[in-house]
Structure 1
Amino acid sequence: MPLTETGLKQPVKANEKDLLKINIAVVPDDQKVEVALKHLNELGQKFRSLMLTFEACVKCGACAENCHTYLGTRDPYNIPTNRADLLRKVYKRYFTPEGKFFPGLIGAKDLELEDLEKMYSYFYQCNECRRCSLVCPFGLDTCEVTMAGRQLLHWLGMVPKLHASVGAAMAKTGNHTGLTKAGIVDTCEFLEEDIMDEIGMEIKIPVDQPADVLYIPSSADFMLNPNTMTGAAKFFHYLGVKWTISSGITEAGNFGLLFDQRATLRANCMRVIDEALQLGVKKIVWGECGHGWRAGKMYLPGMLDRPGRIPIVHIHDEVAYYIEKGALKLNPESITRPVTLHDPCNFGRACNMCDTLRKVMNASVSNFVEMTPNRERNFCCGGGSAILFDDPEMYDLRIKFSAKKAEQVRATGVDKDGDGILCAPCSICKAQLYPMVEEHKLGVEVKGLIDLVGLSLYPPK
């Protein structure tokens, strides 16, 4: 593997100015080891699941051939157990009796500055997809170690520039891309014109309007995935739902889950609650973002400790509910192109949505072809947990991480005539799969699941 000057492939780090915007200071190099050990001790005392992962792994290697990052790079540090060892060996050295007195016998290691650099590199090569946990004979989830490692690195000021800038944009504007209210309103008006041109109907995308439903889109749906936004608008319009988006929270994603759960994650969740209460809505409907829904589903309800609890549902579950109720009449014959489905990791392995995705898919298209493996066993797209770095070396890794997904798509045969559809019901998956399709020369078009719902409800004229 080509090496950088430090001997590692690393995402560009945020500078001190970037980090101050998310209220984190850079720890000087001569203090990093001491501060890291302090925080590692805190993490060990708080999270028993992390300790279980440290103590119970027997290095059987079952995770290796089931990890797309290792399959794509053949870098031994991308074997999940070896990546976890970067932190495990240090913990054992300082916080276990045998590690303190007989470190060589258990593979324990003193922490050095170069070890932190290696952690920064490899914890940001892990997609946190959690597929390794499915094949581990003890059910260990090495994603626990990646998440703990990223949190620790965050406290040291070792954060990718992408994550820091997204965190700052979210705090300032309520979305990852820094869109202002004027930009949001203008974009929605452009999308309304697109809908009129496409189907000859006036369908509104309300912003900051009194409503029963607050829809939380991904900010990428204003630029990168506009058909997902228009698909959602068609869905709400068809049902006659009084809905709105809020200019203060146009972001289904929550990068805090991926690098700073203590502060950024909670701040983003509270922003959703504040906007929902201010608008007086009766329900929050989440848009197409896998990790964002994982945060919304598993963290938000526990934060709704104020009067007037508000139900939170995902748009895929909402569509499936109205299909079952008979209130949503989709026409699968509107989409006859072959379609295969990528199961986003957080929908499949974290949120139990595999059946929901297929209920919506089968009602929307007439030629659905499953990948193998699929559902919770599916492989990650290679961009999960915001590994969407564009600097050349990290971009090269992203494409290598997607090699297994490209292999899965080819095996379905949907790409052979060049008119297939690869359905990616998650915003980050779409952002990763667009370049994957190009680099691996696949004859498919990437679309969201709500894109297909919109096309099935209102085919182009």
Structure 2
Amino acid sequence: MPLTETGLKQPVKASVADMLKININPVPDDQKVEAAIKHLNELGQKFRSLMLTFESCVKCGACAENCHTYLGTRDPYNIPTNRADLLRKVYKRYFTPEGKFFPGLIGAKDLELEDLEKMFSYFYQCNECRRCSLVCPFGLDTCEVTMAGRQLLHWLGMVPKLHAAVGAAMAKTGNHTGLTKAGIVDTCEFLEEEIVEETGVEIKIPVDQPADILYIPSSADFLLNPNTMTGAAKFFHYLGVKWTISSEITEAGNFGLLFDQRATMRANCMRVIDEALKLGAKKVVWGECGHGWRTGKMYLPGMLDRPGRIPIVHLHDEVRYYIEQGALKLHKEVNTRPVTLHDPCNFGRACNMCDTLRVVMNASVTNFVEMTPNRERNFCCGGGSAILFDDPEMYDLRIKFSAKKAEQVRETGVGKNGDGILCAPCSICKAQLYPMVEEHELGVEVKGLIDLVGLALYPPVNK
């Protein structure tokens, strides 16, 4: 069945000045096609998994009704196999014998500049959530194609303004928001005052101190999610461990995974290790960021170019360990509001954390309600892979992408009295879900999981 053209909606592209800040030299339009073919060949030579995805898909369509972007937009190019076809057809045309001699018979296509524009639009409408891989009868992961397509577009200089700005801020300050050391220290001092006022307990948030544990928060925890930062501080204080954050790497996220795995992702990973070694840390504990933890767990260890191995663990795995050791006294009766849990895609489908999240949740609250489906089969929030664009057309798409998640939350009933909690243990998920709960009028408050742990460890003195 031929696809119906629906009109492209694209994120705002980075300017040349923005791209130069992250060492991208944009390829002129009249050279883009030739350069793209060369880079596609390079990707095909290096990644057999990408070639298997190209060669093995039979277009059965099982992925369609399991993709929240397609369910939210009904745009045929958001069906995972159709999106992958944007690159697959080009690969077949130039790198298979059939495509070279009989392109029309196998659906192969000459690459044109407008095809690259379409790739830019639709590869940045994919949340890279990988739910399609769960239902594929061959186990194909079309996220491989999205990641390869974004990398190719990056090499051409076709990068969203958001990603370029975040990459530049990360290179300059070690966090996505451009927060300086002075701003970090001031914010930590303010949060320390908030903790004392709330709990009556003096809890410090050390910055750039020699320590046994280097904690990597999300920069959003200094701005949008302060209770996530204070929750982590309460946990470390309760254990009595020597911990710190580093003003050079206050960022659990790694946008390099989402648009440039070759250079940007590696540079961000090395920054973590450099700081751990400088501060004498014996362990790195990762904060609430799904794609960031996927990078830290699955990519960073293989990138190490320094001697020695520093254990890298996730915050919630640490919390679970101490719960199961009986080392935490959690006052779960403090958290009596109905709570449902959003399983971040990278925690569930990439990092095997579903059980951990539930151990921590059940120890911290009294009224936990599962959404359906859950665990590995949960639907994406709609903001995954940094589709957090604020320009009107793309914002409209973000809300459409969240329609399935909103349906899941509504069906739990936790928001029916307007006092429910939607727990999202991932920074990008929170950034997406804050507007989602307002737009869909869900009657819930978005909180991180460590927020609830912190409340249960040190109950508010006025509650």
Q: TM-score scaled by structure 2?
A: 0.98
Relative to 1, partners in 2 of residues 1:3 and 1:458: Cα closer, same or farther, differing over 3 Å? farther
Instruction: State the alpha-carbon separation in 1 of the partners of residues 5 and 62 from structure 2.
Output: 32
- Structure 2 unaligned residues grouped into runs of 5+: none
Identical-residue share of aligned pairs (%): 92
Deviations 1:74-132, CA, capped at 9 Å, x for gaps:
00000000000000000000000000000000000000000000000000000000000
Q: Tell me the secondary structure at the aligned position of residue 206 of structure 1.
A: coil
Shift in alpha-carbon separation, 1:183–1:4, aligned structure 2, 3 A: farther
Q: Aligned-pair distance for 1:5?
A: 14
Distance 1:3 1:419, change over 3 A: farther
SS at match of 2:372: coil
Paired position in structure 1 for 2:211 = 211
The separation in 1 between residues aligned to 2:275 and 2:420, in whole angstroms, is 39
2:395 maps to what in 1? Answer: 395
The match for 1:180 is 180
Alpha-carbon distance in 2 for matches of 1:4, 1:374: 33
Deviations 1:293-349 (A, max 9, x none): 000001111233423321000000000000011111212111010000000000000
Does 2:286 align with 1:302?
A: no
| Counterparts in 2 of 1:109 and 1:5: CA distance versus 1, 3 Å | closer
What RMSD in Å do the two structures reach over aligned CA positions? Answer: 1.9
- Judge conservation of contact 1:3–1:9 (CA < 8 Å) in 2: no
Contact 1:14 1:161 in 2 (8 A): yes
> Alpha-carbon deviations, 1:46-82, whole Å to 9, x = none?
1000000000000000000000000000000000000
Q: Give per-residue Cα distances to partners, 1:358-391, cap 9 Å, x unaligned.
A: 0000000000000000000000000000000000
Aligned CA distance change for structure 1 residues 2 and 255 (closer, same or farther; 3 Å):
farther
Deviation at 1:459, TM superposition (A): 1.3
Report the equivalent of 1:371.
Answer: 371
1:19 to partner: Cα distance: 0.4
SS at match of 1:421: strand
Distance 1:5 1:358 in 2: 43
- Whether the aligned pair in 1 keeps the contact of 2:177 and 2:219 (CA below 8 Å) is yes
Greater Cα shift, 106-115 or 296-305? 296-305
Q: 1:241 offset after TM fit, Å?
A: 0.9
For residues 245-304 of structure 1, the C-alpha deviation after alignment (integer angstroms, 9 at most, x for no partner) is: 000000000000000000000000000000000001110000000000000001111233
CA change 1:172–1:4 in 2 (3 A) is farther
Q: Residues 332 and 364 of structure 2 are in contact (CA less than 8 Å); yes or no, is this contact kept in structure 1?
A: yes
- Regions of 4+ moved over 3 Å: 1-7
CA shift, 1:32, in A, is 0.3
Q: Distance in 1 between matches of 2:6 and 2:352?
A: 41
Relative to 1, partners in 2 of residues 1:400 and 1:147: Cα closer, same or farther, differing over 3 Å?
Answer: same
Q: CA deviation at 1:2?
A: 20
Q: Displacement, 1:3?
A: 16
The 3-state SS of whatever aligns with 1:202 is: coil
Q: Please give the alpha-carbon distance, in whole angstroms, between the structure 2 residues aligned to 1:451 and 1:2.
A: 49
Query: Partners of 2:4 and 2:71 in 1: how far apart?
Result: 21
**Change in CA separation of 1:14 and 1:4 when aligned onto 2, cut-off 3 Å:** farther
CA distance in 2, matches of 1:227, 1:145: 37
Aligned equivalents of 1:27 and 1:307: distance in 2? 38
For the 8 Å contact 1:36–1:152, the answer to whether it is kept is: yes
Contact 2:257 2:295 in 1 (8 A): yes
- Label 1:6 to 1:362 Cα distance change in 2 as closer, same or farther (>3 A): closer
- 1:313 is paired with a residue of what secondary structure? strand
Q: What per-residue deviation string (whole Å, max 9, x for no partner) do you get for residues 234-253 of structure 1?
A: 00011101100000000000
Label 1:390 to 1:5 Cα distance change in 2 as closer, same or farther (>3 A): farther
Aligned partners of 2:4 and 2:76 also within 8 Å? no
In the other structure, the counterpart of 1:102 is 102
User: How many residues of Structure 1 are paired with residues of Structure 2 in the alignment?
Assistant: 461
Post-superposition offset of 1:7: 3.6
Q: Distance in 2 between matches of 1:58 and 1:89?
A: 13
User: How big is each residue's C-alpha offset from its partner over 1:407-437, in whole Å with a ceiling of 9 and x where there is no partner?
Assistant: 0001100010000000000000000000000
1:4 CA drift (Å): 16
3-state SS in 2 of match to 1:418: coil
Q: Distance in 1 between matches of 2:5 and 2:144?
A: 29
1:57-456, aligned counterparts within 5 Å?
Answer: 57-456=57-456
Stretch moving more, 298-307 or 424-433 = 298-307
SS of the residue aligned with 2:442? coil
